[in-house]
Amino acid sequence: MDLELRHLRTVRAIADAGSLTKAAAALGLAQPALSTQLRRIERALGGPLFDRDHTGSRPTPLGELVLDRARVLLPAVRELQEDAVRFANTWAHLDRFRLGATHGPLLGGLVDQLATARPAVPVTTHTTWSVTEISTMLIEGRLDYALIGTCGESRPPATDRLSWEAVGVDPVFVMLPQNHPLADEEELELSRLSAECWTDVPGEGCFGDCFTAACARAGFAPTQVYETDTASCVHLVQVGRAVGLCRATFPPAPGIVTRPLAGAPLTWRHLLGWHPAAPAAEAAREVAGYTAAAYGEAVARSESYARWLAAAPRPGFGAGAGAR
């Protein structure tokens, strides 16, 4: 029997699980089938790879040798496969911009910037709530650039394989209906909203937990949080059913005002990402400049945010704030 990559994955799975029973469950196999497969692998490699007893499975010296090589080979093959897929997906598309984004205020602005600067170059977009999906598409070469956001100082995904640059950092504002009793306030203490229902868009990061923690520090627990799409969030605020959480760059909407929270207890980082080995990396500086311009326009459109930034020095907020 010739040794294959799947055999190395099997050996690694057994070592990681510490027993054939646990490894079989992880691999979705019956234990007798895994035992038979392991015997074949051991015959191909010349000896037993694990000492097995009632306490589990431990690698033999030969098993340690095989595992050491597998830990090098398997990531290398995965990287080769990712590079090949990325190359295949990007080689024929160097004459267009493929943008991915989680739902936010910058994608439309970046499309406009690119279409103005490069009118002959097609721009395509893909949006999703999933940062994981966006970063995977970037790794696989199905996207050239990604616009995402992270809560506070949370690390963006796949930092070992992708390059990320902070475009700007926003405080999180609250959306209120225009007729709300607090709508005329310039800044709100979070505790004054303790009796409200809330609405926000979904996401994979820690924002929900950070919001709950901020409320706890303000002395209350939110009674209801409607997690839904942006249009529904806006509607719930417009009809007075809830107050909303939004980035300070949230665009104006009829019947709604946005107001800062005192002390900026929640923050949001806008990030542009790309794969450093992809052809699109050569234009990353240019695209980052267009993204920064789109961010500046978003800030200018939000009167409450522009006013908040101008009122006093705001270190750590605005364009270019935050680290890569």
- In our burial notation (b when 16+ CB lie closer than 10 A, e otherwise), range 35-69 reads eebbeebbeebeebbbeeeeeebebeeebeebbee
Q: Report d(CA 234, CA 191) in Å as an integer.
A: 22
Section 69-85 average pLDDT: 82
Ranges in the chain annotated CATH 1.10.10.10: 5-90
Q: Per-residue pLDDT tens for 133-177?
A: 999 999 999 999 999 999 988 899 999 999 999 999 999 999 999
Contact of 140 with 85, CB cutoff 8 Å: yes
Location of structure tokens 């907020």: 317
Answer whether residue 87 shows pLDDT above 60.
Answer: no
CA angle 273, 204, 143 (to 5 degrees): 30
Q: Report d(CA 30, CA 50) in Å as an integer.
A: 18
Q: Report d(CA 2, CA 304) in Å as an integer.
A: 67
Could you tell me how far CA 7 lies from the centroid of its own chain?
33
**Which of 67, 56, 51, 50 is closest to 9 using CA atoms?**
67
Q: Report d(CA 38, CA 10) in Å as an integer.
A: 8
* Residue 15 token pair: 């070592």
pLDDT at 324: 42
Contact of 59 with 97, CB cutoff 8 Å: no
CA angle 6, 8, 9 (to 5 degrees): 60
Ranges in the chain annotated CATH 3.40.190.290: 94-324
What 3-state DSSP class applies to 97? strand
- What number of other Cβ atoms are within 10 A of residue 3's Cβ? 12
What fold does the segment set 5-90 form as a domain?
A: Arc Repressor Mutant, subunit A (1.10.10)
When pLDDT is cut at 50, 70 and 90, the band that residue 55 belongs to is: confident
The overall average pLDDT reported for the chain is 89
- pTM of the predicted structure, to 2 decimals: 0.70
Q: 94-324 in CATH: which number?
A: 3.40.190.290
pLDDT at 195: 96
When pLDDT is cut at 50, 70 and 90, the band that residue 91 belongs to is: very low
pLDDT at 139: 93
pLDDT at 51: 92
Q: Report d(CA 274, CA 162) in Å as an integer.
A: 6
Answer whether residue 280 shows pLDDT above 80.
Answer: yes
